[in-house]
Structure 1
Amino acid sequence: MDTRHTLDRRGLLLAAGAAALTPSAGLAAGAARSPVVATTAGKVRGASAEGVHAFKGLRYGADTGGARRFMPPIRPQPWSDTKDALTYGAASMQTGKGEDGETLSEDCLFLNVWTPAKTGKKGLADGVKRPVMVYIHGGAYNGGSGGSPLYDGTGLSKRGDVVVVTVNHRLNAFGYLYLARLFNDPSVADSGNVGQLDLVLALEWVRDNIATFGGDPGNVTVFGQSGGGGKIATLMAMPAAKGLFHRAVTMSGQQVTVGGPFNATKRAQLFVDKLGISELAQLRALPADQLLNGLKAIDPVAGSGGVYMGPVLDERSLTRHPFFPDAAPQGLGVPMMVGNTHDETRGFVGYDKKMLELTWDEVIARLPGQFNARVDIDPATVAAAYRKIYPDYSPSDVFFAASTAGRSWKAAIIQAEERARAGAPAYVYQVDWRSPRDGGVWGAPHTIDIALVFGTVTAKGSLADGGADSVAMSNQMSDAFIAFARTGNPNTAAIPAWEPYTLPRRQTMVFNTPSKLADDPRGAERELFNKVPFTQFGT
C-alpha cells in the first residue's frame, strides 16, 4: 500500500520502504558538495555554503506506515552507498499542505543538520566539541515540520559555532492516537505517545552520530516553540529521554499536564467512529490521507473543534505529568529556559485589523472562547480588572492581554514556579519587542521569537525584518540562546545580568531594544488569574 501524499513542488520522491535518503538531487545555487560523513546507518553527503555544511533529509527511523502504523519507531536499515542529503525529507501526514507544499508521508522520520565544522581526518569530526542545538517544531501536535524557512540553521550555526538540528516526527493521529483501551493488541500499547518516541529516537541518533558532524553528544540543547515547547516539557518527564539532552528551552509552549487515558480513549473512540471503523486491521489498512478524516470528529472534552491529539499518561512511556503535581524530578538536573511573548494571541487572529476595533461587549463575549476552559473565570470580571490595571488600554488591548494571560502565559508561570519551588530555577524571558508588521500594531505575537533566535529575520513567515532594530534584537536573543546551549547560562555582555526565576521575585528577562531584567512583570495579571485553577488544553 502506498501511503504517500505527493504534494511536493520540489519533486522529492521517496520510494515505499526506502532504506534511506533522497537520491541524487541538484545543489542550491552557490553551494558545493560537502565532505562525506559516515553515520551509523551509512555515508551521507550534503551541501556547503556560507561556511556551513547542510545535510537535509537524514533518515533516523524506518518507515512507520503499513503494519508499523501506531507502533514505536525502529532504526533504519543500513545502506552501503553514499546518499545525497540535499533535500528535506517528508513531513508527517497532516491536514493542509505542510511547509511550501512539501511531501507528506507516514515515512517521515528525517532530520536535518547544519554544522560549521572544518574538514577533518574523518569527515567533519575536526576535534572541536561544539554545542548541539536540536529544534523541535511547533504546530501543536497536529502540523508543521523541521523544514520551515524560519528554522534554517545556517545563520545560527555560523554565528555561534554550534551544530543545529531540526526534526520531523509523527503528528496527530499517526503519533498520538491512544488505542490501547480500544483494542486488546500489544502492538498499539504505545500508540498514544509514538510521536514522542520518535523524538527520543531522533535524540538517540544525535547521541550516536553528531560527533562525526563536529558536535558534542555530551552537550545537547533541545529548544522548541509552541507545540515544540510542549513536546520538550513532556520529554523532561519521559524515562526513555533521560540523558539524551542536557539543556531545555520552551518557547511559548508548555505542557503542565498531558491527556489522561480515559479522555484519550473517548477521543480515540470518536475518531474511529468518524471513520466508520471497528477493527484495528481496518484502521491500519486505511490510506493515510483518509485516516486524517477522523480528526474532524468534535472533541468530546472541549466540546468544539477537531478531536485533540497529544501525549497521554499511558503508564508506559509516560507515567507522570510533566509539571503536576510538581516539576518532574527527572528534569530538574537539566538547566531550563522558559519563555513567552507579551502578545501571544495577537498572532492567532490572522492579523485581521477588525480585531483592533473591538467594543467592550465584544471583549466580554469573545474571552470565554479564548479561555476554552483553561481558566473558568467570569469575563466581565476580567475585563473590569484589566481596565483598572491598565486604564489606557483599548478594548482590543484588554482582549489580547487577557486572552494571552489565560490561554498560554499561565502555563509558563506554572513551569517557572514549580522549578523554583524544587530548587532548580529556570531562566525566564518575555519578548516585548514589537514586530514591525503593520507599523507595530500587533505587538509581540506568538512565533515572533523564532526568527529572532535563528537569525532568519527576512525569511518567509518572519515577524521581524531586515532593519537595524530587528537585527539588533535578533543578535541579543541568538547570543543568549547560544550562551545557554554552551554553558547552561544565557548571560552575555549584550543584555543586563539575567538571574534565574526565584520566588517571590520572579525575575524575568524582558527582551527589547534595550532589554531589562524585571521582577514579576505583569504581576497584577498573574494574581488575577491565580483566583482560578489552570487546566492544560487536552487534559
Structure 2
Amino acid sequence: MMKLIVSILSFLTITSVKGQTITTQFGPIQGNMNGSVYQFLGIPFAKPPVGNLRWKAPENPTAWASVLNTTSFAPVCPQKSFDQGGTNGTVIGNEDCLYLNVWSPEVNTANLPVLVFIHGGGNQQGSASEVNGGTEMFFGKNMAERGNAVVVTIQYRLGPLGFLAHAGLEPENVQGTSGNYAVMDQLLALNWVKNNISQFGGDTTKVMIFGESAGGINVGNLLTTPLGNGLFQRAIIQSAVPMISDYSTARNNGTAYVDSFIVVGTDVQKIAYMRSLPSDSLVKDEEPPISGGAVGLTWQAVVDNHVFFDLPMNSFQSGNFNHVPLIIGSNSEEMSLSAPATVFPLMVSALISGYVPTPLQAQATALYPPGSNTTEARVSYINLLTDAQFTATTRRVAACVSMNQSEPVFRYFFTHKHSVAALSSFGSYHGMELFYVFNNWENATLGSGPLFSPQDDSVQNAMLQYWVNFANTGNPNGAGLATWSGYQSTTDCYLEIKATSNGTQCGLRTAESDLWDETINYTPCTSSLGIESLSKDFSFSIFPNPTSGKTQWNIPLEWNYFEVRIVNPLGNLIFKGENSSVIDLTDQSEGIYFITIESENQQFSGKIIKNM
C-alpha cells in the first residue's frame, strides 16, 4: 500500500510539473504547467527549411512516435538584430526555426477563443521569444490565464530567407514565380492551428490573427490571399497596413541581392551556390528596418499569382478578400524611439521639403511647426513621421475595408504613456501597446514593482478584454468596458486607448491625414457592395443629442425607403424600423447607442448619447 501511495504521489508530482501530454497530428508532445496554464514551447509545424528546402514552400514535419518534450523556445530565425532606432546589429539565429508556442488554461474539452500572434521586426528580425524591457514581450501565459483563451505565437522565415524572389527559383514552382516563403510559413502554421488547436482547448471557429508592425503587415496581407480563406475568423492589425510588392520590383531586388554574392553562372547555378552558404552570411549585411524615424521594408511579400494575385488596396476595393471582423489602429507617437535624440527646427523644415509637394508645404508647416527650439522641433518631427506612415495609412485601410465588407471594422488610437519617467517622455511609441495586450509590462524590468501604476493596470486589463472579446465574438465590446463603436468612413470614429477611455472620439488627426492623402494623390475607395456612405457635404443630424428620451433625425428628401437599426453598448439590437425618423429611449439605460440608417444605396452611422 505504501509503495502504491508513493507511486501515485510520484505520478501526480510529474504530472503537475510536466503538464498534459497532447497528441497532435504529427505525434505526441509534452509541455509543462506555468501557474494554472498549460504551456507548450517549441512545437514544430514544418520541416527545418535547410539544405534543398531553403527557398521552398514549407513542408509538414516528419511524424514522430515518442513523446516530444516542448518546454523551451526554439531558436530564432537567422537575422541581424537591431534595437529600435539602433544602427549596430548582431547576427543571431538558426535556420531550423519553424516552431510555434501554445498556452492554454484548459486542454482537450474546452472551446476557447484562439489568439494567434505574428511578430514584427520589418520582416527581417524578431521572434516569438523576443525579450524587451527585461521580459519576454510575447509570452502568452498572462493573456491565456486572465483572458481564458488559447494563445499561439509563431515564427516564420525572415529577410532574404523568407522573401527572396529570383529567376533561379522560378523553375522550381509550377506558377513560374518565387518568393513569399515566409507567408507560406504563416499559412502552414495556421493550418496546424486548424488541425490541432482543439486538442489544446481551442475553438477552430474562433481563431483570431493579430500582429504589430511587420506582423501587422503580414496579418493585413493574409486578408488578401485565397489560401487564408477559412483559416481565421477575425484579424487585428497593430501599427501597420498591408504591403505587397509587384513581382518585377521584387525580382529586380532579388537579382541585385544574389549578384552581391555571385555574378558568374546561370540563375539556377547562382541559387545552388546561395544554398551552399551558411545562413549567417546571408543576413550579416542587413540594414536596420527603422532609421531616423523612417520605416523601411526591404523584404516584402510579392504578387506571385499563387499566394497573392493583386496589391492589397486593389483587393479591398474589389471586395475580393477574406471578409472577417477587423480591428486596426496605431499609436500616437510611433516614431519617438527611433527619431533623432536632438531635432533642430531646420530639420523639420527639411523633412517637409523632402516629403511634401511645394503647393502643400505651407499647410504642412502649419500642421507641423518647426518651432523655436529642439524640444518643439522634435515633437513636430515625430508627429509628421507618425502621421505620414501610420495615422493616415491606417485611416485609408479602415475606410476601404469597412466600405467593402458587411463584417464590422473597429479603429483604435493608443495614447497611454508609461508611468516610468525615463520612458514617458517618448510618448506612445512603436510597439509599446504590446506590453499591455500581453499583460507583460508588469513583468518588465522598468515596468515592475512600484513603477507599475494603476493606470498601467487599467490599460492592460482593458486591452486584454477587448482583444479576447473580439476573438470570441467578433465584437470587442463587453461589460465594464468603454463602448467601442464600429468604424464608418464618414465619421472616422475610434477608441482612444488610455487609462480612462470613453469611446466618444471621432475624426482622428483629420487635417493631417487629409494632407498626406493629398500628398500622394490618394484616391479614396468606393464601395463594391453597392452601398455608399453619405457625402460629407450632407448635413446629417440627430436631435436632441444627448437625449433623455425621444430623439429624431433628418433624412434626405429623395429617400423613398430606408431602414433604421439601433444597438445598445453591448451590440444588442433594440430597435429596427422602416421609414422611421424618431425613437423613444426613455426606458433604456444611460449610455451610448449606435444608429445605422440605410437606403437602397446609401448609409449613415452615428451615435446617440442617452442621459438619465
Matched, 1:360 2:345: yes
Match of 1:442 among 420, 423, 426: 426
Classify 1:532/1:306 alpha carbon distance in 2 versus 1 (closer, same or farther; 3 Å): closer
One-letter amino acid matched to 2:142: G
**3-state secondary structure, aligned to 1:344:** coil
**3-state secondary structure, aligned to 2:48:** coil
> 1-side partners of 2:295 and 2:459: how far apart?
36
One-letter amino acid matched to 2:376: S
Q: Answer whether contact 1:455 1:474 (CA < 8 A) is retained.
A: yes
**3-state secondary structure, aligned to 2:205:** strand
Partner residue in 2 for 1:472: 458
Classify 1:291/1:101 alpha carbon distance in 2 versus 1 (closer, same or farther; 3 Å): closer
TM-score (norm 2): 0.73
Q: Answer whether contact 2:22 2:29 (CA < 8 A) is retained.
A: yes
Matched, 1:341 2:328: no
> 2-side partners of 1:416 and 1:144: how far apart?
26
**3-state secondary structure, aligned to 1:275:** coil
Any unmatched runs of 5+ in structure 1?
Answer: 1-29, 118-123, 299-303
- Deviation of residue 33 (structure 1)? 0.8
Match of 1:323 among 307, 313, 335: 313
- Deviation of residue 493 (structure 1)? 3.0
Partner residue in 1 for 2:278: 287
Q: Answer whether contact 1:128 1:214 (CA < 8 A) is retained.
A: yes
Q: Answer whether contact 1:91 1:102 (CA < 8 A) is retained.
A: no
**3-state secondary structure, aligned to 1:112:** strand
Classify 1:534/1:52 alpha carbon distance in 2 versus 1 (closer, same or farther; 3 Å): farther
> 1-side partners of 2:345 and 2:461: how far apart?
39
Partner residue in 2 for 1:429: 412
> 1-side partners of 2:371 and 2:481: how far apart?
28
Q: Answer whether contact 1:91 1:103 (CA < 8 A) is retained.
A: yes
Partner residue in 2 for 1:108: 97
Q: Answer whether contact 2:246 2:311 (CA < 8 A) is retained.
A: no
Q: Answer whether contact 1:56 1:87 (CA < 8 A) is retained.
A: yes
> 2-side partners of 1:378 and 1:323: how far apart?
27
- Deviation of residue 239 (structure 1)? 1.2
Q: Answer whether contact 1:275 1:294 (CA < 8 A) is retained.
A: no
Match of 2:49 among 64, 70, 76: 64
Match of 1:93 among 78, 88, 94: 78
Higher radius of gyration, 1 or 2: 2
Q: Answer whether contact 2:113 2:202 (CA < 8 A) is retained.
A: yes
Q: Answer whether contact 1:136 1:222 (CA < 8 A) is retained.
A: yes
Q: Answer whether contact 1:140 1:226 (CA < 8 A) is retained.
A: yes
> 1-side partners of 2:240 and 2:222: how far apart?
13
Q: Answer whether contact 1:271 1:307 (CA < 8 A) is retained.
A: no
Matched, 1:177 2:159: no
Partner residue in 2 for 1:19: none
One-letter amino acid matched to 2:469: A
Structure 2 counterparts to residues 454-469 of structure 1, below 5 A: 454-460=438-444, 466-469=452-455
Classify 1:330/1:451 alpha carbon distance in 2 versus 1 (closer, same or farther; 3 Å): farther
- Deviation of residue 55 (structure 1)? 0.2
CA displacement 1:333-363 (0-9 Å, x = unmatched): 21000010011011323xx6x33xx332121
> 2-side partners of 1:446 and 1:502: how far apart?
25
CA displacement 1:146-199 (0-9 Å, x = unmatched): 1121111111101111000000110110110111x3555225955410100000
- Deviation of residue 297 (structure 1)? 12
Classify 1:174/1:378 alpha carbon distance in 2 versus 1 (closer, same or farther; 3 Å): farther
Partner residue in 2 for 1:230: 217
- Deviation of residue 49 (structure 1)? 2.0
**Of the two structures, which has the highest relative contact order with CA contacts closer than 8 Å and spacing of 6 or more?**
1
One-letter amino acid matched to 1:413: R
Matched, 1:385 2:375: no
Matched, 1:451 2:435: yes
- Deviation of residue 513 (structure 1)? 1.7
CA-based RMSD of the aligned residues comes to: 3.1
- Deviation of residue 450 (structure 1)? 0.2
Q: Answer whether contact 1:61 1:73 (CA < 8 A) is retained.
A: yes
> 2-side partners of 1:229 and 1:212: how far apart?
27
Q: Answer whether contact 2:79 2:91 (CA < 8 A) is retained.
A: no
**3-state secondary structure, aligned to 1:95:** strand
Partner residue in 2 for 1:54: 39
Matched, 1:402 2:391: no
Match of 1:35 among 2, 15, 20: 20
Match of 2:146 among 143, 159, 163: 159
> 2-side partners of 1:390 and 1:335: how far apart?
42
CA displacement 1:299-336 (0-9 Å, x = unmatched): xxxxx999811101111211012223635635452100
CA displacement 1:393-429 (0-9 Å, x = unmatched): 9222111111101122222111101012214441000
Q: Answer whether contact 1:150 1:459 (CA < 8 A) is retained.
A: no
Classify 1:239/1:494 alpha carbon distance in 2 versus 1 (closer, same or farther; 3 Å): same
- Deviation of residue 489 (structure 1)? 0.3
One-letter amino acid matched to 2:392: K
Any unmatched runs of 5+ in structure 2?
Answer: 1-14, 131-135, 265-269, 523-612
Classify 1:337/1:297 alpha carbon distance in 2 versus 1 (closer, same or farther; 3 Å): closer
> 1-side partners of 2:212 and 2:295: how far apart?
22
- Deviation of residue 78 (structure 1)? 0.5
**3-state secondary structure, aligned to 2:312:** coil
Aligned residues: 483
Classify 1:459/1:68 alpha carbon distance in 2 versus 1 (closer, same or farther; 3 Å): same
- Deviation of residue 243 (structure 1)? 0.5
182-191 vs 404-413, greater mean Cα deviation: 182-191
Partner residue in 2 for 1:221: 208
> 2-side partners of 1:418 and 1:534: how far apart?
16
> 2-side partners of 1:325 and 1:209: how far apart?
30
TM-score (norm 1): 0.83
> 2-side partners of 1:489 and 1:429: how far apart?
13
One-letter amino acid matched to 1:113: V
**3-state secondary structure, aligned to 1:77:** coil
> 2-side partners of 1:360 and 1:182: how far apart?
49
> 1-side partners of 2:67 and 2:409: how far apart?
43
Match of 1:494 among 459, 465, 480: 480
> 1-side partners of 2:71 and 2:18: how far apart?
9
CA displacement 1:226-253 (0-9 Å, x = unmatched): 1100001111111111100000000002
Q: Answer whether contact 1:70 1:175 (CA < 8 A) is retained.
A: yes
Q: Answer whether contact 1:367 1:399 (CA < 8 A) is retained.
A: no
